[in-house]
Structure 1
Amino acid sequence: MSTNQEFLTTNPSEPLPELQGLQNPEGDLYLRFFVESGQEFALPAMGIREVLSLDPEQITLVPNVSPLLMGILNLRGQVIWVTDIGQFLGDAQPLNTDRSEISIVAIETQEVTVGLAVERVMGMDWLDTEQLTLSTNAPDSMAPFLKGEWMMDGTHQSLRLLDPTAILRSARWAT
């Protein structure tokens, strides 16, 4: 074992230089994304299996299923259903699939996995649940799947928090 002091480049009581500019995050970690209509949503990071960027041709159409379903996807040997989450929530504007890649957010709970096709993934963000308010102007088609919303600083835009369990257990899948 070496006791050479040259290996100790910093004082153990001081923060490492690369960490000095970072602050402790407040709140919980969420994935932020947009649907085709431009509305922004968030999902808790704990319910997300992974985020994929796929060629639309990798989604296989399935006849005689709910119109909410875009098709199925083979995710490393597991077949998962894919939905346009905007349309699932009641948006009239369907996701534009005429492009080279589609972002899919795979959510799961108790062995059930569903892929949510979104317009654009914004990334991960720490959000304070203390500032979460009830959604008062959400459409009836969306309300059962919302936990609340954050009002964004300096804008009249809201960031709506989705409940992944409510989405996965929805009776809408049967219609």
Structure 2
Amino acid sequence: MSKTIDLMSSPASKNLIARPSERSDEHQRFLGFTIGDSLSALIPLINLQATIKISLAEILAVPQMNESLLGIINYGGKATWVLDLAHLMGGTGYVRTAARTGMGMLFQVQNETVALLIERVGTIETYDIQQCLPMGEAMYTDRIRSFLAGYFIDDAHQSRVVIDLDRIVDALIGTPVTA
């Protein structure tokens, strides 16, 4: 692992494009990233502890775990679980690509640190939470929708799905998720 970047720091109108609101309590900051080739995603910044670069060679596999849990790494002297987010959501999965490194978005769950492994981290974006739209049944597969809290339409008229960390955790500690 090398560089660590510390990150601790129903529409209200007919216009569905997320715009700045006048009330600051309606704003929420998100970290943007892409899952696979095309799924443009967001994760609430408030949930993130840091992002780190992860070498796949550093991941120690743990037998008899959910296939999406790649194993553990040592981060700050503690065992940190590494989750292949694309695989969990029904995609090909990160380790089935030619990549040797990725980015881990770290968050706390039940006193454990978990790193969601993705290709690269995007930008920090701010959206009015009142403009978060519910997922429609025709949008994406059931599997993908099961891990989403909703979506925004950005200024370029592109959808930006919001990852629901609680649903991801439920899938991992509940019944095993199969591809």
| TM value normalised by structure 2 | 0.73
Bigger Rg, which one = 1
CA distance in 1 between counterparts of 2:27 and 2:131 reads 9
3-state DSSP of counterpart to 1:161? strand
**Alignment-derived partner of residue 107 in structure 1:** 107
Q: Which amino acid aligns with 2:119?
A: E
CA distance in 2 between counterparts of 1:52 and 1:65 reads 23
CA distance in 2 between counterparts of 1:41 and 1:47 reads 15
> Gaps spanning 5+ residues in structure 1: where?
1-23
**Alignment-derived partner of residue 27 in structure 1:** 27
Q: Which amino acid aligns with 1:170?
A: A
Question: How far 1:153 moved relative to its partner?
Answer: 2.9
Within 5 Å, which residues of 2 pair with 1:83-98? 83-91=83-91, 93-95=92-94, 98=98
Instruction: Confirm or deny that 1:138 pairs with 2:140.
Output: yes
**Alignment-derived partner of residue 14 in structure 2:** none
**Alignment-derived partner of residue 66 in structure 1:** 66
> Gaps spanning 5+ residues in structure 2: where?
1-22
Question: How far 1:145 moved relative to its partner?
Answer: 2.0
Pairwise CA RMSD: 2.3
Instruction: Confirm or deny that 1:167 pairs with 2:161.
Output: no
Deviations 1:49-106 (A, max 9, x none): 2111122211112233221111211111211211110111122x22255345310111
**Alignment-derived partner of residue 44 in structure 2:** 44
Is contact 1:70-1:83 (8 Å) kept? yes
Identity between Structure 1 and Structure 2 (%): 23
Query: Does the C-alpha gap of structure 1 residues 153 and 123 become closer, same or farther in structure 2, counting only changes over 3 Å?
Result: closer
3-state DSSP of counterpart to 1:33? strand
Query: Per chain length, whose mean CA-contact separation is higher, i.e. which structure has more relative contact order (CA < 8 Å, sep 6+)?
Result: 2
CA distance in 1 between counterparts of 2:60 and 2:123 reads 27
